[in-house]
Amino acid sequence: MRKLFTTDHRSLGVLYLLLSLAAVATGTLLSLLMRVHRIWPDTPLPLLGLMKPEDYLALVTMHGTLMVFFVLTVAPQNGFASLVLPGQIGARHMAFPRLNAISFWLMALAFTILISAFALPSGAPLSGWASYPPLSAIASAGPGQGTGMDLWLLSIGIFCVAAWLGAVNLLATILGERGAGMTWSRLPLTVWAWLTTSILTLLVFSVLLAAAVLLFSDRHFGSSFFVPLNDVVNGHVVGRGDGSPLLWLHLFWFFGHPEVYIAILPGMGLATSLFANFTRRRVAGYKVMAAMLVAIGGLGLLVWGHHMFVSGMNPYAGTAFALTTMAIAVPSTVEVIGWLSTLWGGGLRLTTPMLFALGFLSFFIAGGLTGPILAQPALDTYLHNTFFVVAHFHLIMAMAGVFSVFAGIYYWFPLMTGRMMNDLLGKLHFWISLIAAYGTFLPMHISGLAGEPRHYERLAGPVVSFSEILPNERGITWSAILLGAAQLLFLWNLFASAKRGERATENPWQATTLEWAPEIPRRRIERGPYEYENGGTESMFRPQWESASKQE
Amino acid sequence: MPATFTPKNVEIERKHTGIGGKPPVDRRPTGGGGDGDNWDNRPSGRRGPRELLSRYRLGVLFALAGDLMFFVALVSAFFVRQSAGHFDARENYVSDWHPIAVPPILWVNTAILLLSSLTMEIARRQLFREIDVMEEWLGLGRPAVKRAAPWMVVTVVLGVLFVIGQWIAWGQLTQQGFHFNSPDPSSHFFYLITGTHGLHLVLGIVALAAALGALFTLKRVELRQIVVDCTAWYWHTMGIFWIFLFVLLAYFQ
Amino acid sequence: MPWAPFNGSLEGARIDRLLLYNLIAFAIVFALAQVWIIVVMLRRKPRGNGLPAALRWAMIAVFGVLYIWTGIAAQRLWANSQFAGPAPEAMQVEVTGAQFQWYFRYPGTDATFGAVRSQLVDAASGNPLGLDPADPASKDDVVSSLLVLPAGREVDLRLRSLDVIHGLFIPGMRLKENAVPGMILHVHFTPQTPGTYSILCSQVCGLGHARMQARLLVVPEKQFTEWLGVREHLRQAGLAGGVSRP
Ligand code: HEM
Ligand SMILES: [Cu+2]
Ligand SMILES: [Cu+2]
């Protein structure tokens, strides 16, 4: 109990991670059900029976919502930041420890509310994680769009507040609690990433909250923000005023695009640190890398329209958004080239965290390269809402994101438990996951190019059967099952190592950043974050907690 | 073994943080230890009497920045919705937007809110008058509290008056036939904007009342400063938000 | 193109070509980058100190050029299809999405779409779009659940939705645009090769989303006139009140 209602930032970090572990386990199960249903749509599933079309859509919606909010926001942004951010900047605690606990409990509440939608007789909502109105605004538009959708809105509303409190806390901590001498250019790149994502969180989650309030008012108070005049749903005229569905799209994607960067920037910062550590090199162009993280965040606020090229948005706006999107590809490229050049001739130490960081890089490139293709409105006309987009964001956000979270867990596990995770199991987990993930998401490009739209409950419809991509889809499903199964290795490793793992030495990765300091330094910090020296076989490194004059 | 999360002396340290053995008066350029002793060179929690205050100010600042975006989103929805319309049967472009005249009582409310900001600022300044702070710090009495409390009471009263005024305005609108769920988008926005802002004010009043209570119960002078200071900034910001929202409702319908 | 459904439209060929170039370019970059990662993993002995900064910036410049090229090339196509309206003689067809069905309306001999009123929408009694019988212009409107178009003539689609957002997706025409309730959107294209193409819904719209499909038949001009003639005739004879199935 004492441990549960803790305000200690490290315990809270672990709690956040456990929450996202629960969410990722649920989300993965849902996705496997979807994959199985897609290739055997008429086979009853054990326990669940025959899946109805609305069940499939409910699975997609809940899967997306869980993964985007409760996994890829909670783990990298709140979990890891609570765990190590104060340590990394030489602070004793978060600026507001109790606020951190409140934010965690709100997130747990939001999670419970969301999951409880499955228990409703009418089922969970089915309008997808982007919840476009009028489908999401009118209860009679589909099963699950009544109470289920209300629960979704409530859960997201609470999550917005929680994320917002979390971001306030992180910002106040980074700005106010840095140890003496911890100047801006001595911050590890993870801290730069958290700084950026926290600002983004403040700016965009409040907009999502406002949008959710408007939608809720449309649903219950008879307003017409998003429902147009004379809208007829299910034989009833429900539209009362000149509401505009496009308004929701703008508000939602103004949140939605920065949100994907909230998910990935911490991973980018972590990968940079790991590459430096396991090549025993300084980060190539530290200042540039930090600046690019911030630039990506800033530009990320200006590109939301690339989700709306075919939505009926003004085509000139489409051009503008296409250009800003091309512009954001540049800082991303700078980051990737920075990593590749740090690795070049680096004599990598292929530890498990390093492998996962390399996996992150591989997926980031694989998914990132389809970004500029989708950013061309003329091409996106064909590709939008097909499996090509599904492939894009699963590679860059889901896989790159999750691999960076794995890297973080393997890397910081000693900080959580004082033990190491099993290396052999870890490496097995990595290789199976890597291959299965590529096996799952690369072939999706082919389905997408063949014109297969997303959110399809079955391939064969009244007119098109997509029979030519069925083998491809089968392969994807088997791969996905393998991918899911590989995570059992991870779970086993996680809990077994927490109990019986090998005891970690002090600073087991020979890292330089402050979270590994034996105690919180009381002295002024005088070093940069990545002072590794590549001295032949015996490597030298200068942790930030050592004073500048001691060495040499 | 690395530093795992064995319970640290965090809790103990927090109790003493921010004091630095100095009275919480205006910050001096140096730490007072002579010879270039800068607060910033010390570990956090030892950075002088104003450390805690600036931490909370920072938090309030960021929270309000997020809140600002909330209202920005509402206001941009307002403008989008205002320009929306449709083609009627004869292909004429018509809009369902009918501007509503704001009830005149809103002017009174606005004046009240401005006044309350003024009284709140007076209350806040009482807690930062150096002589009084020194006296409180030395435990000789509580002159600052005594001076600030009445002004805060006045602020609470004015705040409550404002909320009641808004309530009356809603009543007047309903009498004219503008309900929340009447088909007029402008009335949705009127209710939504005044409603969410009103909710913020109610929270503010609760915070003010709590701060008032805390003035008398909190033992340490710098904590008393913090509660009053933070609620004051919140209150001022809500006042500023109101001015913008009011101008929007009154002149940009 | 083996990787995409057969393209039957005039504009599609250029889109396909651009897409192919893009895929090739980015596939090469993908392969190179992955090889890079494998190589650095295999070469266990550290050497050098990473890439020299000049080389890094040169690589970034190469990518900058690549993005600018893709940006410009794509904008040209986009401008052609979106900034310029359809030719004045383009054929008008209205497409309406409703849960979970596409309806296609031809304006008839008067070349004017009749008025529609939501209050009249009643699919069961054969008036799924709510055509207003009081409007003379709606008398000759032909509503079909099959989209038949003449080959070689530009078409101007007028997109509407009755209820929720749908996505009109004709893969064989490389065409996609949402049907948004409360908005009338226009897209234009030129079907070229006669044949049958599928029409899908690309925006999740409810439980029947995956079944919301229709057929596009591109036929020679003569056959099209015949088909439309028969429809007009049926419509005038009052045999098909609003919609007629193929
Ligand atoms: C090189 C940088 C990137 C570019 C140019 C880019 C471009 C795009 C474009 C144009 C779309 C819209 C496709 C469509 O819906 O038709 C899209 C979708 C998406 N992107 Fe990216 N992207 C980039 C990086 C990222 C990153 C870093 C993430 C996440 C970490 C991400 C996550 C997503 C997601 C989740 C979607 C789909 C949202 C949905 O429809 O549900 N992208 N991207
Ligand atoms: Cu995006
Ligand atoms: Cu549809």
pLDDT digit string (tens) for A270-325? Answer: 999 999 999 888 887 899 999 999 999 999 999 999 999 999 999 999 999 999 99
Does the structure show a pLDDT above 80 at B15?
no
In tens, the pLDDT along B88-104 reads 666 677 777 777 788 88
Nearest listed ligand to the Cα of residue C201: 3
Residue A188 Cβ < 6 Å to ligand 1: no
Closest CA to B73 of B196, B183, B211: B196
Q: What CA–CA distance (Å, rounded) separates A288 from A272? A: 12
Does the structure show a pLDDT above 80 at B53?
yes
Q: Which of A274, A311, A403 to substitute to test the interface with C, most C CBs within 10 Å? A: A311
Query: Is some CB atom of chain A closer than 8 A to the CB atom of B184?
Result: yes
Query: Residue A56: which H helix or E strand, with range?
Result: helix A53-65
Does a cis peptide bond (omega within 30 degrees of 0) precede residue A134?
Answer: yes
Q: Please indicate, yes or no, whether residues C76 and C100 belong to a single structural domain of this protein.
A: no
Kindly state whether residue C3 falls inside one of the protein's structural domains: no
Contact C126, C240 (CB under 8 A): yes
Last residue of a domain, one of C29, C55, C82: C82
List of domains in chain B = 52-251 (1.20.120.80)
The DSSP call for residue C191 is: B
Q: What pLDDT is stored for residue B21 in this prediction?
A: 57
Contacts of B4 in chain A (CB under 8 A): 10, 414-418
Nearest listed ligand to the Cα of residue C176: 1
Query: Is some CB atom of chain B closer than 8 A to the CB atom of C115?
Result: yes
Average pLDDT rounded to a whole number, residues B54-81: 92
| Minimal-distance CA residue to ligand 1 atom 12 | A307
Q: Please indicate, yes or no, whether residues C227 and C172 belong to a single structural domain of this protein.
A: yes
Q: Please indicate, yes or no, whether residues C228 and C112 belong to a single structural domain of this protein.
A: yes
Q: Please indicate, yes or no, whether residues C196 and C102 belong to a single structural domain of this protein.
A: yes
| Minimal-distance CA residue to ligand 1 atom 3 | A371
Give the atom of ligand 1 at the shortest distance from the alpha carbon of A372. 5
Q: What pLDDT is stored for residue B41 in this prediction?
A: 67
Q: What pLDDT is stored for residue B14 in this prediction?
A: 42
Last residue of a domain, one of C82, C107, C129: C82
Q: What CA–CA distance (Å, rounded) separates B225 from B126? A: 9
- Residue B155: HSE in the Cβ half-sphere, 13 Å Cα cutoff: 33
Q: What CA–CA distance (Å, rounded) separates B83 from B107? A: 27
Q: Please indicate, yes or no, whether residues C78 and C104 belong to a single structural domain of this protein.
A: no
Q: Please indicate, yes or no, whether residues C160 and C198 belong to a single structural domain of this protein.
A: yes
Distance from the CA of C99 to the center of ligand 3, in angstroms?
6
In tens, the pLDDT along A107-164 reads 999 999 999 999 998 889 999 999 999 999 999 988 889 999 999 999 999 999 999 9
In tens, the pLDDT along A338-370 reads 999 989 888 888 999 999 999 999 999 999 999
Tell me how many domains chain C contains. 2
Distance between B141 CA and the closest CA of chain A, angstroms: 30
Distance from the CA of A202 to the center of ligand 1, in angstroms?
21
Closest CA to C60 of A269, A267, A341, A274: A341
Residue A37 Cβ < 6 Å to ligand 1: no
Question: Pairing between strand B93-94 and B86-87?
Answer: antiparallel
Q: What CA–CA distance (Å, rounded) separates B202 from B188? A: 20
Q: Please indicate, yes or no, whether residues C97 and C60 belong to a single structural domain of this protein.
A: no
- Residue A39: HSE in the Cβ half-sphere, 13 Å Cα cutoff: 19
Q: What CA–CA distance (Å, rounded) separates B81 from B77? A: 6
Kindly state whether residue C7 falls inside one of the protein's structural domains: no
Residue A434 Cβ < 6 Å to ligand 1: no
In tens, the pLDDT along A463-489 reads 888 888 899 999 999 999 999 999 999
Distance from the CA of A490 to the center of ligand 3, in angstroms?
40
List the CATH number of the domain containing C119.
2.60.40.420
Q: How many CB atoms lie within 10 A of CB A4?
A: 9
Residue A281 Cβ < 6 Å to ligand 1: no
Q: What pLDDT is stored for residue B12 in this prediction?
A: 39
Kindly state whether residue C215 falls inside one of the protein's structural domains: yes
Q: Please indicate, yes or no, whether residues C109 and C228 belong to a single structural domain of this protein.
A: yes
| Minimal-distance CA residue to ligand 1 atom 42 | A393
Does the structure show a pLDDT above 80 at B27?
no
Q: Please indicate, yes or no, whether residues C106 and C198 belong to a single structural domain of this protein.
A: yes
Which among A126, A322, A458 has CB closest to C75? A322
Window from A51-60, A65-74, A502-511, C44-53 with minimum mean pLDDT: C44-53
Contact A331, A290 (CB under 8 A): no
Does the structure show a pLDDT above 70 at A2?
no
- Return phi, psi of residue C197, to 5°: -130, 155
Last residue of a domain, one of C82, C110, C142: C82
Q: What CA–CA distance (Å, rounded) separates A487 from A426? A: 10
Contacts of A205 in chain B (CB under 8 A): 66
Q: DSSP assignment of A291-344, as one string? A: HHHHHHHHHHTT-GGGG-TTTT--HHHHHHHHHHHHHHHHHHHHHHHHHHHHHT
Backbone angle region of B192, left / alpha / beta, with phi > 0 → left and psi within -120 to 50 → alpha: alpha
Instruction: Name B49's Cβ contacts closer than 8 Å, sequence gap at least 6.
Output: B18, B19, B20, B22, B23, B24, B25, B27, B222
Q: Please indicate, yes or no, whether residues C27 and C100 belong to a single structural domain of this protein.
A: no
ipTM of the complex: 0.93
Contacts of A344 in chain C (CB under 8 A): 36, 40, 48, 50-51
| Minimal-distance CA residue to ligand 1 atom 34 | A393
**Hey, which residues does C94 pair with through a beta bridge?**
C105, C158
Contacts of A240 in chain B (CB under 8 A): 183
Nearest listed ligand to the Cα of residue A308: 1
Q: What pLDDT is stored for residue A153 in this prediction?
A: 96
Window from A24-28, A422-426, B96-100 with minimum mean pLDDT: B96-100
| Minimal-distance CA residue to ligand 1 atom 36 | A393
Question: Pairing between strand C166-170 and C195-201?
Answer: antiparallel
In tens, the pLDDT along A484-516 reads 999 999 999 999 999 988 998 888 898 888 889
Closest CA to A377 of A428, A323, A440, A340: A323
Q: Which of A63, A292, A307 to mutate to test the pocket of ligand 1 (most atoms within 8 A of CB)?
A: A307
Residue A327 Cβ < 6 Å to ligand 1: no
Residue A410: band (very low, low, confident or very high) from pLDDT cuts 50, 70, 90: very high
Q: Cβ–Cβ of A376/C70 closer than 8 Å?
A: yes
Residue A63 Cβ < 6 Å to ligand 1: no
Which among A227, A230, A381 has CB closest to C174? A381
Contacts of C78 in chain A (CB under 8 A): 315, 318-319, 322, 376-378
Query: Residue C216: which H helix or E strand, with range?
Result: strand C214-219
Distance between C224 CA and the closest CA of chain A, angstroms: 21
Q: How many CB atoms lie within 10 A of CB A376?
A: 27
Kindly state whether residue C242 falls inside one of the protein's structural domains: no
Q: What CA–CA distance (Å, rounded) separates A138 from A127? A: 11
Q: What CA–CA distance (Å, rounded) separates B187 from B82? A: 11
Q: Cβ–Cβ of C115/B89 closer than 8 Å?
A: yes
Terminal CA-CA length for chain A: 49
Distance from the CA of A453 to the center of ligand 3, in angstroms?
11
Residue A181 Cβ < 6 Å to ligand 1: no
Contacts of A242 in chain C (CB under 8 A): 182
Does the structure show a pLDDT above 70 at A549?
no
Which A-chain residues 151-170 have CB contacts (< 8 A) with chain B? 164-165, 167-169
Chain centroid to CA B25: how far?
23
Kindly state whether residue C182 falls inside one of the protein's structural domains: yes
Closest CA to B187 of B168, B173, B201, B204: B173
Residue A398 Cβ < 6 Å to ligand 1: no
Average pLDDT rounded to a whole number, residues A234-250: 87
Q: Which structural domain, as residue segments, surrounds residue C157?
A: 91-237
List of domains in chain A = 9-516 (1.20.210.10)
Which among A211, A213, A242 has CB closest to B96? A242
A549 vs A537: which has the higher pLDDT = A549
Q: What pLDDT is stored for residue B36 in this prediction?
A: 55
Kindly state whether residue C51 falls inside one of the protein's structural domains: yes
Residue B25: band (very low, low, confident or very high) from pLDDT cuts 50, 70, 90: low
Kindly state whether residue C2 falls inside one of the protein's structural domains: no
Kindly state whether residue C59 falls inside one of the protein's structural domains: yes
Closest CA to A125 of A107, A155, A149, A105: A149
pLDDT by residue for chain C (246 residues), tens digit each? 577 889 999 989 999 999 999 999 999 999 999 999 999 999 877 777 778 888 888 999 999 998 888 888 888 889 888 888 888 889 999 999 998 899 999 988 888 888 888 888 888 888 888 888 888 888 888 899 999 999 999 999 999 999 999 999 999 999 999 999 988 999 999 999 999 999 999 999 999 999 999 999 999 999 999 999 988 888 877 655 445 444
Does the structure show a pLDDT above 50 at B4?
no
Instruction: Name A387's Cβ contacts closer than 8 Å, sequence gap at least 6.
Output: A444, A445, A447, A448, A452, A453, A454
Which among C50, C178, C208 has CB closest to A284? C50
In tens, the pLDDT along B162-189 reads 999 999 999 988 888 777 777 777 888 8
Written as one letter, the residue type at B144 is A
Q: What pLDDT is stored for residue A297 in this prediction?
A: 94
- Return phi, psi of residue A129, to 5°: -70, -15
Window from A521-525, B32-36, B67-71, C158-162 with minimum mean pLDDT: B32-36
Residue A294 Cβ < 6 Å to ligand 1: no
Distance between B76 CA and the closest CA of chain C, angstroms: 20
**Hey, which residues does C219 pair with through a beta bridge?**
C150
Query: Residue C222: which H helix or E strand, with range?
Result: helix C221-236
Distance between C159 CA and the closest CA of chain B, angstroms: 15
Query: Is some CB atom of chain B closer than 8 A to the CB atom of C119?
Result: no
Average pLDDT score, chain A = 91
Calculate the CA dihedral of residues A90, A92, A93, A96 and round it to 10 degrees.
-100
Q: Please indicate, yes or no, whether residues C53 and C30 belong to a single structural domain of this protein.
A: yes
Backbone angle region of A99, left / alpha / beta, with phi > 0 → left and psi within -120 to 50 → alpha: alpha
Q: What pLDDT is stored for residue A196 in this prediction?
A: 96
Q: What pLDDT is stored for residue A474 in this prediction?
A: 94
Which C-chain residues 114-143 have CB contacts (< 8 A) with chain A? 117-119, 121-122, 130
Q: Please indicate, yes or no, whether residues C56 and C148 belong to a single structural domain of this protein.
A: no
Query: Is some CB atom of chain B closer than 8 A to the CB atom of A508?
Result: yes
